[in-house]
Chain A
């Protein structure tokens, strides 16, 4: 019985790793090779016919050209930078505002707290698609009115097709979940800490900033990882609110490149692009996976 379970788990392990390995291997081959032989491995096959063919690129050359194609000519470097900007700025804001609100809701007793908390949590149930269309028109309207105000200053404001607009949406959308997690963490911190700090002469803000916040670090890290993954991979809002190529984020860029690569039948490019998208997530995951799984379990079990 035990062997059966081992076999089952191993099969699933293969099912998970083989597609990813396939992507990695294919990114190192030229399109011609990929098309001709789905299973080949570039240099491990002794006496592979492709190596002998005149004019056929060596594995190093094709790998280099694929990645160069993706990174430089297909602008993956730009998409990477854009994703990085949008994600990091959003993340900082989300954690800051989320922690602030979570602390206030959990540690500062007040009659309205429950209501406000429920208000935020119900926001988690709002699917992105519901707010998509209104936000689209709301941004047009906002851009118009704000531009009308700032026109005398010679400035016009355009929220569409801007990272700022996207960041605002991301923050608003991720706040409910972050507040949910962080409220739980803050609640678990003892009130005695606060009282002794106040007796020692700290202001309320100092209590929040210097004592409670550092103690909630596990929660903040969990929230940070969750939000990072969600934002880095986010597609729908980016699709609607970012249109021009120089502002696109990585998921958008990837889907663009996949269409482009199919047009040019350049599959090496396609797989290289996939690798560029997958590798950072892979690295982040391997480094932080313990925190991640802890975060899920804590979040789910706490409710």
Chain B
């Protein structure tokens, strides 16, 4: 179609608001953050330029490495179990069963709750005092099977799930609980685009359901699976709310994740440059992960 002046003007009119808002409040701050990361600033006094010093300090800092390690634990442990469970559930529902709709609706629900609400819920369930149901169940198990769980003369005692030293490991089940539904729906949709004939042909050839899964289903949704992996990596890099709430806003070196370190550096220690450096590192990680996913997903995202 031909472009006339009317169309040109309309185009600018249509794009302008989004462009202006986005540039002012997302793009420019992003660039600003990059600048901060090369400076040393406490927010009160004048900033000074220190080049790569913040990044060097970052890589040498135990706190950050520990926080990074915690993020990796979330990604790997959480991711592996979530994605496998999601795949498992999706494939079982995909084979067709009664109540599939109910399962889909129910499983997806935790994903849309506020992260804060989920964190508070799980914090209460993990409570070591009398009313945390997880510990209550654990105590019942201990009492029921003393020979297995209790050493001689020991009384059943609650397990400190929210202890800072292994808080991250306690968060992993919470993460799995929340995220599995989402990935299940994702994989299910992908599976539903696989033509039925493949399965019919395979059944005629005598393949078992397990073989069908590994040789038909999985290869055909491989791309979506990889999109899922990368999605998970990106969202666990940004993980903040749960740790913050469960640690009552004061994580210590064992329970930090990168984003909480960032917050602490700015608002507790007034070290803005360092925090910006963390943010830049986060961005680079997310960027790389997104590039990988763009590589693997459908090509027509970028094409016109």
Chain A interfacial positions (CB closer than 8 Å to B): 1-2, 5-6, 8-9, 12-13, 15-17, 19-20, 22-23, 34-39, 96-98, 100-101, 103-105, 108-110, 113-114, 116, 118-120, 123-138, 168-169, 171-173, 175-176, 179, 191, 194-195, 203-205, 208, 229, 232-233, 235-236, 250-251, 254-255, 258-259, 267, 270-271, 274, 277-278, 281-282, 285-286, 289, 292-293, 296-297, 300-303
Contacts and interface: CB of A to CB of B under 8 A. Distances in A.
A293 B108 contact: yes
A114 B21 contact: no
B113 A110 contact: no
Interface of B: 1, 3, 6-8, 10-11, 13-15, 17-19, 21-22, 24-30, 32-33, 36, 43, 85, 88-89, 92-93, 97, 102-110, 112-117, 120-125, 129-133, 136, 177, 180-182, 185-186, 189-190, 193, 209, 224, 227, 237-238, 240-241, 245, 248, 259, 262-263, 266, 272, 275-276, 278-280, 282-283, 286-287, 290, 297-302, 304
A235 B26 contact: no
A98 B21 CA distance: 11
Q: Which secondary structure dominates chain A's binding surface? A: helix
Contact of B106 (A16, A176, A271): A16
Contact of A254 (B25, B109, B120, B287): B120
A297 B185 contact: yes
Nearest to B26: A172
A34 B297 contact: no
A32 to B, nearest CB: 11
Q: Which secondary structure dominates chain B's binding surface? A: helix
Given A125-B290, A255-B245, A250 B131 contact: no
A129 B11 contact: no
Given A13-B106, A39-B136, A235-B241, A100 B113 contact: no
A134 B32 contact: yes
B132 A38 contact: yes
Contact of A13 (B107, B287, B299): B107
Contact of B114 (A109, A134, A254): A254
19 contacts: A5-B92, A15-B177, A36-B130, A38-B136, A97-B17, A100-B13, A100-B17, A105-B15, A108-B7, A125-B286, A126-B286, A133-B262, A133-B272, A232-B114, A236-B241, A251-B116, A285-B108, A296-B182, A302-B300
B262 A9 contact: no
A111 B211 CA distance: 49
